[in-house]
Structure 1
Amino acid sequence: MTMTASLENCAESNSSLARVAPIEAVLFDIDGTLCDSDPLHYYAFREMLQEIGFNEGKPITEEFFIDTVAGKHNDDIALALFPADLERGLKFVDDKEAMFRKLAAEQLKPLNGLDKVRKWIEERGLKRAAVTNAPRANAELMISILGLKDFFQAVIVGSECEHAKPHPDPYLKGLEALIASKDHTFVFEDSVSGIKAGVAAGMPVVGLATRNPEHLLWEANPAFLIKDYDDPKLWAALEELDKAGAPRR
């Protein structure tokens, strides 16, 4: 058995969300979790890096994007891209985010089934927060475009915490903002760094295999992986969670 298969089998055997019953709160990442935004980020990075002659003018690959950019905080991305000139790197990622916001305003769409899971959460009166490594301007724009401005009760941004993801700080701050217990909360995440952050904060994480390779996501130890919010695995788990939290007669 390969290590990846072993990790997957281990996660599948512990895929229940019932341990957080009765459910109190749900925490969401934003990029790649509420919406398939990675193609827009990739396009912006690829075009702008090629324009300045990065990588000898050759376009960056999706593999490079996944390894260097996806789910990471902008300070870390700037350092990875421009290790000898952090100031230039920070200016570059700021400009790239402006380009992303322009693209997002024109093209951003919710992941399949997002409205369905939103209704499930609202019907149960659960607390909810968005927890992201994205800049606040990006986070608030995406939430607004997706029609979730009134849905989230808090928006936690990695750069406003002591440490960004993959550290648990942003998720712990999300729990604090909602006055919620990690023992009765679970997380939706799509990146390795985000899953690691949620797990380190002591919560089960439902991983979304939106763009990142599944074998990498499994290594971060999610409870289970889903394709989107229409995935039958998610709804089976939520049904089990409901039953576990129902009052005993």
Structure 2
Amino acid sequence: MSIRTVLFDLDGTLIDTNELIIQSMLHTLEKYAPNQYNRENVLDFIGPPLDESFKWVEPTKVEEMIEVYREHNLYHHDSFVKPFDGVIETIKALKERGIKLGIVTTKIGDTALRGLKVTQLDRYFDVIIGYDDVEHAKPHPEPVLKGMEALQAKASETLMVGDNYHDILAGQNAGVKSAGVAWSLKGREALQKHNPDYMLETMGDLLDIVGK
């Protein structure tokens, strides 16, 4: 059965916020765990919700750390964020084909919308499911299921696209097809271990998968 709905993770998938996230994470970790983290080992913190990541650093100060992170992240946001190559053209083409498009992210909804607006992608998406819209974040199926419900989509016709194993597992747990992106900061090999249905070398590869 053909794909009629595509749900996307946002950061690292559609928009390049990698450097922004790394710098915000290093800024926060340096304050609460000085001289313990660098660019390489901070990558393990990227992907899960902030509260899950920070509880391993200083469990009594998680909310405080989140505020420090978000303050830094939002202050520098607009100067760092840009779409990955081919994203705007592909999303526009999918929309023109009548494909339903949604965002499923571990960011809070308002921040996700800001990223979409900065990159001029907001006009193409019918729904944003943010961290503040669910009780259980990816890899739990709830965010994907909520996205499908909002778009009145069938699982057999839905694809979940992301740059992190949480995205692949969330799609699998929700009973939809999944696609990893080869430009993932974690590396394509890390995603392949979780057996996505597709691996996108470029975002344009979606046009060969969707809508046939």
Both proteins in one fold, TM over 0.5: yes
Counterpart for residue 17 of structure 2: 37
Mapped partners of 1:240, 1:139: distance in 2: 26
User: SS where residue 82 of structure 2 aligns?
Assistant: coil
Counterpart for residue 82 of structure 1: 58
Mapped partners of 1:159, 1:195: distance in 2: 20
Mapped partners of 1:212, 1:228: distance in 2: 16
Could you list the structure 1 runs, at least 4 aligned residues long, displaced by more than 4 angstroms after superposition: none
Identify if the C-alpha distance between structure 1 residues 240 and 179 changes in structure 2 by more than 3 Å, giving closer, same or farther: closer
The letter of the residue matching 1:25 is: T
Q: How many residues align?
A: 211
Cα-Cα RMSD = 1.8
Counterpart for residue 41 of structure 2: 64
Counterpart for residue 15 of structure 1: none
Question: Any residues of structure 2 matched to 1:42-191 within 5 Å, and which?
Answer: 42-52=22-32, 54=33, 57-58=34-35, 60-67=37-44, 69-83=45-59, 85=60, 88-191=61-164
Query: Paired residue for 1:212, among 174, 182, 186?
Result: 186
Q: CA deviation at 1:149?
A: 1.9
The answer to whether the aligner puts 1:224 opposite 2:201 as a matched pair is no
User: SS where residue 164 of structure 1 aligns?
Assistant: coil
Quick one: percent identity of the two aligned structures? 28
Q: CA deviation at 1:114?
A: 0.5
State the structure with bigger RCO (CA 8 A, min sep 6), 1 or 2. Answer: 1
Runs of 5+ unmatched residues, structure 1: 1-19
Counterpart for residue 193 of structure 1: 166
Q: CA deviation at 1:227?
A: 3.9
Q: CA deviation at 1:207?
A: 0.7
TM-score normalised by L of structure 2: 0.91
TM-score normalised by L of structure 1: 0.78
User: SS where residue 61 of structure 1 aligns?
Assistant: coil
Map Cα deviations across residues 195-248 of structure 1 (whole Å, 9 max, x no partner).
111121112212113211222211222123234324xxx15xx33654xx4xxx
Select the structure of larger CA radius of gyration.
1
Instruction: State whether residues 74 and 90 of structure 1, in contact with CA within 8 Å, keep that contact through their aligned partners in structure 2.
Output: no
Instruction: State whether residues 95 and 101 of structure 2, in contact with CA within 8 Å, keep that contact through their aligned partners in structure 1.
Output: no
Runs of 5+ unmatched residues, structure 2: none
